[in-house]
């Protein structure tokens, strides 16, 4: 992701290949294959939702499927919101706060939220 972190001698001896993130349809197909190999019955609507929520990140999508399986015995009936980690909810809340108000008071509030994230979630 960040070529600046790769040392120059290594960069000069290697061929740089950029691999694009998978499309949501590709992620859905992989999730279907994983479900089939694990003998899970999952409705397509849920798999599509997981793919969309993963932001084109295959690892995140597979982990999300695994998390849902651990929470629910039968995934075929699950058509609910996909679980969002606490740290992502916290960051989204901070972004909403930033757009709502820019003031010293909000800055203090955001600093407290950042400390909470660092202590509890990340």
Element at 89 (helix H, strand E): helix 86-100
Yes or no: say if 93 and 62 are a contact pair by the CB < 8 Å rule. no
For residue 64, give the nearest of 42, 37, 96 by alpha carbon: 42
The set of residues, in sequence order, having a beta carbon less than 8 Å from that of 45 and lying 6+ positions away, is 79
Q: Can you give the pLDDT at residue 81?
A: 64
Average pLDDT per 10 consecutive residues for the chain, totaling 122 residues: 78 85 95 91 87 90 87 67 76 91 91 88 66
Please state whether the predicted TM-score (pTM) of the whole model is above 0.95: no
Distance from C-alpha of 111 to C-alpha of 16, rounded to nearest angstrom: 39
pLDDT of residue 34: 94
pLDDT at position 78 is 61
Query: Cβ–Cβ contacts within 10 Å for residue 64, how many?
Result: 22
Instruction: Identify the residue whose tokens are 């089939």.
Output: 36
């Amino acid at each position: 992701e960040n070529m600046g972190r790769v040392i120059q001698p290594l960069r000069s001896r290697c061929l740089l290949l950029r691999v694009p993130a998978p499309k949501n349809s590709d992620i859905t197909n992989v999730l279907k294959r994983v479900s089939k190999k694990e003998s899970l019955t999952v409705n397509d609507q849920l798999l599509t939702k997981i793919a969309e929520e993963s932001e084109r990140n295959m690892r995140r999508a597979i982990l999300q499927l695994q998390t849902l399986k651990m929470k629910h015995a039968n995934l075929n009936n699950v058509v609910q919101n996909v679980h969002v980690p606490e740290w992502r909810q916290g960051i989204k809340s901070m972004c909403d706060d930033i757009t709502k108000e820019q003031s010293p008071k909000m800055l203090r509030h955001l600093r407290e939220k950042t400390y909470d994230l660092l202590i509890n979630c990340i």
